[in-house]
Structure 1
Amino acid sequence: MHKLVLALVSWLLISLPFNSYASTADVVPSLINHWLGYTSILVFVCAYLFVILEEKLHLRKSKPVMLSAGIIWILIAIVYGNQGFSHQVESAIRHNFLEYAELFFFLLVAMTYINAMLERGVFEDLRNRLVAAGFSFKALFWLTGFLAFFISPIADNLTTALIMCAVVLAVGKDRPKFVGLACINIVVAANAGGAFSPFGDITTLMVWQKGIVEFSEFFVLFAPAVVNFVVPAAIMQFALPEGTPKGAKLRADVLKPGGLTIVALFLLTIVTAVSFHSFLHIPPVFGMMLGLGYLKLYAYCLSQKCKKWEIHTDNPPAGNANPYQFDVFKKIAGSEWDTLFFFYGVILSVGGLGFIGYLASISSFMYGELGATQANILVGVLSALIDNIPVMFAVLTMNPEMSHMQWLLVTLTAGVGGSMLSIGSAAGVALMGQARGYYTFFGHLKWTPVIALGYGLSIWVHFLLNSPN
């Protein structure tokens, strides 16, 4: 645990928006050896220890880091204010909050659409079709893997992993070995699929919103991502049980009216966000907010059909709810608020640590002494121990001078490196809860060398295909 904490501190100290301090770094004194610096580090490390122990303490991860953010910036305001730097403090915290606000509203819209599709039965209908098809264990292993790989670039890797896990649990509860292997495969596939799309993972979204990699440029990572998923899967398939799973009882007619229309509106929202960024040079979050307007307008159309259904259905069957009943504000309320506020705490807490002056020394070591390639590969390894979101923040805040190919490399490694451990990604953590007893930390750890092989080969393929001639 102490090694994990040391690695955590090293990287999270530099997890802040880099350009927010570009204008103040030369006029604000570094206080890394001041009591303010030591106290701020202690506050943040304590907060992140509570995050690590979330499952044991049953304390939501957003609470300690939000408290940490407040304490750190209060101390900064007092100490720097007494030295005459109140304006710089205000400017820095406003910029940090703006960075967070863009991420917040972007994710809020995406989460609302996913919640709407879940409520309309879109994903449950997909699951039922797969279960009813009568595939063998090996066929389901590959099918759920490929679906996770191709759905995660749109629906995000966490949601995709949960959907595919529901499929394997529905058909393989009596075969624990199949469920465990299939869950490992789903985690690897979902993380790999999320690495070649801005919508597949928070890390790729941050890179895209920063304008470092354009939307179309992410797709050059497709081949390395395929290798990252296929190589471990090809080896793990030999450990799968033979035969075909028993049929499972499933509810019929789970797809509610408007489900497919909402899928189409979500795709239109993605196109809108990309167009805003590419053609109008407007931050993509504004395109996402326009997309939320699409959903709100369609929710009104469903409400009108809901009223007509109630008028023309005098005696509906007992237990039959109105299929057109749809409240878009409930879908907004159902977003992952703990996750959204966790991002606030991390960005503001580490932003404060960066303002104090810890950024320069660590960034010079990572990209100065180790070099870009070694540092970017290490990013992926650290992502298996630490959540990849603060790790990617670290790279973006350092903003090291490196080639475009190296920026693509770190986008790849931060996205897929977390697959090496079950705790290395949101998908893995979620599946340990959903498939409790089937998919475990040590069950995943057994296959870590195989997953690491896929990680290494994906990097090699990236250099092979995407290195400048």
Structure 2
Amino acid sequence: MTRTACVKSLLFSLLLFFLPTAAFAAAGPIDLTSTTTGLVALVVFTLAYILVMGEEKLHLRKSKPVLVAAGIIWVLIGISYVANGMPDEAEGAFRHTLLEFSELMLFLLVAMTYINALEERRVFDALRAWLVRKGFSYRSLFWITGGLAFVISPIADNLTTALLMCAVVMKVAEGHGRFINLCCINIVIAANAGGAFSPFGDITTLMVWQAGIVKFNEFFTLLIPSLVNYLIPAIIMSFFVQQHKPETAYEAVEMKRGARRIIVLFLLTIASAVACHSLLHLPPVLGMMTGLGYLQFFGYFLRRTLPKSLERKRAIALQKGDEEALNRLGGIVPFDVFNRVARAEWDTLLFFYGVVVCVGGLGYMGYLHMLSTTLYTDLGATYANIFLGLASSVIDNIPVMFAVLTMEPEMSHGHWLLITLTAGVGGSVLSIGSAAGVALMGQARGYYTFMGHLKWAPVILLGYFASIATHMWLNAASFHVMG
């Protein structure tokens, strides 16, 4: 994460600080906004986020400062409530916040485990090698990587998808900086747009689905607006891509045993989560954890049958005289599910915990009702959601969405879909506005830069506002239905 993102914390904290007070349901019974305790909590949160944004320079993992800040904020709350003879109130509020995070964390942990399993089975490497071997022109590659990013991100999350597509571009167009920059911008827009119409595409959409505000099938009403958000800037940028054909590079990649069956199990796990939530009205995390059991049983099967599989492949390799295949067989290790769990993005998960608990604490102190009053009462839901979408390119979209869900402003179903859309695609405006953009600046260092992305911001904004207009036109009826 770049130092530029320190502005995210400052703007968010200052916005909370200078807003007028009003009664709000998410706040606790004691208003701490005008007290020394409340101000100290804001300062702690701001300092923690500044450290988060200096991660690259300080080499300090982003989870550490927010974990400490979360603890300090809730200790301050606990001290205030004990002093006022209401310790049970603070305990109940923290447990509620922790429960919300726990469901999301377990859900994300299973999804990350499956993605890691697919990566270990070389599914993504095989896809990349296939694209490289085909020898597409630069313009074709521009559209293929963007299109695949849009299609894959609803299932595999926008960050993983963006990294995969960027790897393809870097392999094929090595040294062509202008093309790599355009492709990376296109991939970031496509991955964020694709993740906006699926509960699995981004943490923010998952939060909305887990909260029960938008049903699984209702996310797909955002498909056309999301497509518009991707296509408008992509069409304009494509005119600046050369038609030259790069030299074809050949790379032999063979998926490991069980790769296709793990893909099927992942889809079955998603179906289980959807069925639990939609049909049984149980938390979707139940279906995801059951799906982790599917993967564990399959891992057991792969381990038990590995010796026979190796014997069969060795016999085939000897018959063909394929020494390279024999060498590859010698390097095969059994599939281990818990190894995949251990390789999950624990820093991201713990950072997510810190953000959720910090924002939950600030909300309990009373700060979020200030934000709700100014934005949703004074500005109105439409302008508030558009503004928060743009703010997510500066302020991380996770605390933005969690703040909105905590505030629970009274607005129509169409407006809830609108904030889901804008929080998902608004981060594309700046390279630092989404996890996909930040990751690609590291992967394509020197080619894809903040300024290189910023030059295309007007075109991206055109797609942003066009997607909002499309949603408000296609889903006009939903703006009359209260969420």
TM-score interval for Structure 1 and Structure 2 normalised by the shorter chain = over 0.9
Q: 373, 384, 391: which one pairs with 1:375?
A: 384
Shift of 1:75: 1.7
CA contact (8 A) 1:377 1:413 kept: yes
Task: Give, in whole Å, the separation in 2 of the partners of 1:371 and 1:278.
Answer: 31
- Give the fraction of aligned pairs with identical amino acids, expressed as a percent: 58
Task: Give, in whole Å, the separation in 1 of the partners of 2:250 and 2:452.
Answer: 28
Instruction: Specify the code of the residue in structure 2 equivalent to 1:446.
Output: K
Tell me if 1:443 matches 2:452: yes
Task: Look up the match of 1:405.
Answer: 414
Instruction: Specify the code of the residue in structure 1 equivalent to 2:109.
Output: L
Give the 3 Å change call, closer, same or farther, for CA 257–323 of structure 1 in structure 2.
farther
CA contact (8 A) 2:149 2:194 kept: yes
Give the 3 Å change call, closer, same or farther, for CA 318–144 of structure 1 in structure 2.
closer
SS at match of 2:257: coil
Deviations for 1:83-103, whole angstroms, at most 9, x for unmatched residues? 101000110111111111001
TM-score (norm 2): 0.92
Deviations for 1:11-69, whole angstroms, at most 9, x for unmatched residues? 6789xxxxxx94873xx210111111111111111001111111111111100000001
Instruction: Specify the code of the residue in structure 1 equivalent to 2:261.
Output: T
Task: Look up the match of 1:255.
Answer: 255
CA contact (8 A) 1:13 1:350 kept: no
Shift of 1:10: 4.7
Shift of 1:421: 0.3
Instruction: Specify the code of the residue in structure 2 equivalent to 1:118.
Output: E
CA contact (8 A) 2:389 2:424 kept: yes
CA contact (8 A) 1:131 1:248 kept: yes
Task: Give, in whole Å, the separation in 2 of the partners of 1:87 and 1:36.
Answer: 19
Shift of 1:391: 0.8
Task: Look up the match of 2:369.
Answer: 360
**1:379-398 maps to which residues of 2 (within 5 A)?**
379-398=388-407
Task: Give the CA RMSD over aligned residues.
Answer: 1.9
CA contact (8 A) 1:152 1:200 kept: yes
**1:103-182 maps to which residues of 2 (within 5 A)?**
103-182=104-183
Task: Give, in whole Å, the separation in 2 of the partners of 1:232 and 1:13.
Answer: 36
Give the 3 Å change call, closer, same or farther, for CA 242–280 of structure 1 in structure 2.
same
Give the 3 Å change call, closer, same or farther, for CA 11–23 of structure 1 in structure 2.
closer
SS at match of 1:181: helix
Shift of 1:311: 6.4
Task: Look up the match of 1:267.
Answer: 267
Instruction: Specify the code of the residue in structure 1 equivalent to 2:185.
Output: I
CA contact (8 A) 2:129 2:253 kept: no
Task: Give, in whole Å, the separation in 1 of the partners of 2:130 and 2:253.
Answer: 11
Give the 3 Å change call, closer, same or farther, for CA 39–237 of structure 1 in structure 2.
same
Task: Give, in whole Å, the separation in 1 of the partners of 2:404 and 2:364.
Answer: 16
Tell me if 1:276 matches 2:276: yes
Task: Look up the match of 1:340.
Answer: 349
**1:9-408 maps to which residues of 2 (within 5 A)?**
9-10=13-14, 22=25, 25=28, 28-250=29-251, 252-309=252-309, 317-318=326-327, 320-321=329-330, 323=332, 325-408=334-417
Give the 3 Å change call, closer, same or farther, for CA 213–232 of structure 1 in structure 2.
same
SS at match of 1:8: helix
Instruction: Specify the code of the residue in structure 1 equivalent to 2:13.
Output: V
Task: Give, in whole Å, the separation in 1 of the partners of 2:150 and 2:27.
Answer: 42
Instruction: Work out the number of aligned pairs and report it.
Output: 460
Give the 3 Å change call, closer, same or farther, for CA 267–49 of structure 1 in structure 2.
same
Instruction: Specify the code of the residue in structure 1 equivalent to 2:463.
Output: G
Give the 3 Å change call, closer, same or farther, for CA 151–335 of structure 1 in structure 2.
same
Task: Give, in whole Å, the separation in 2 of the partners of 1:261 and 1:351.
Answer: 40
Shift of 1:249: 3.7
SS at match of 1:239: coil
Task: Give, in whole Å, the separation in 1 of the partners of 2:8 and 2:353.
Answer: 23
Task: Give, in whole Å, the separation in 2 of the partners of 1:431 and 1:318.
Answer: 34
Give the 3 Å change call, closer, same or farther, for CA 24–159 of structure 1 in structure 2.
closer
Task: Look up the match of 2:439.
Answer: 430
CA contact (8 A) 1:276 1:284 kept: yes
SS at match of 2:171: helix
Task: Give, in whole Å, the separation in 1 of the partners of 2:333 and 2:8.
Answer: 50
Give the 3 Å change call, closer, same or farther, for CA 291–4 of structure 1 in structure 2.
closer
Task: Give, in whole Å, the separation in 2 of the partners of 1:448 and 1:253.
Answer: 37
Task: Give, in whole Å, the separation in 2 of the partners of 1:280 and 1:258.
Answer: 31
Deviations for 1:230-275, whole angstroms, at most 9, x for unmatched residues? 000000011112310111241x243111111101100000000000
Task: Look up the match of 1:18.
Answer: none
List gaps (5 residues or longer) in structure 2. 19-23, 319-324
Shift of 1:219: 0.5
CA contact (8 A) 1:273 1:285 kept: yes
Task: Look up the match of 2:12.
Answer: 8
TM-score (norm 1): 0.94
CA contact (8 A) 1:13 1:353 kept: no
Deviations for 1:174-216, whole angstroms, at most 9, x for unmatched residues? 3111111011000000000000000001110000011100000
CA contact (8 A) 1:31 1:37 kept: yes
Task: Look up the match of 2:321.
Answer: none
Task: Look up the match of 1:17.
Answer: none
Instruction: Specify the code of the residue in structure 2 equivalent to 1:453.
Output: L
CA contact (8 A) 1:257 1:324 kept: no
Task: Give, in whole Å, the separation in 1 of the partners of 2:273 and 2:207.
Answer: 14
SS at match of 1:134: coil
Task: Give, in whole Å, the separation in 2 of the partners of 1:12 and 1:204.
Answer: 23
Task: Give, in whole Å, the separation in 2 of the partners of 1:362 and 1:379.
Answer: 11
Instruction: Specify the code of the residue in structure 2 equivalent to 1:415.
Output: G
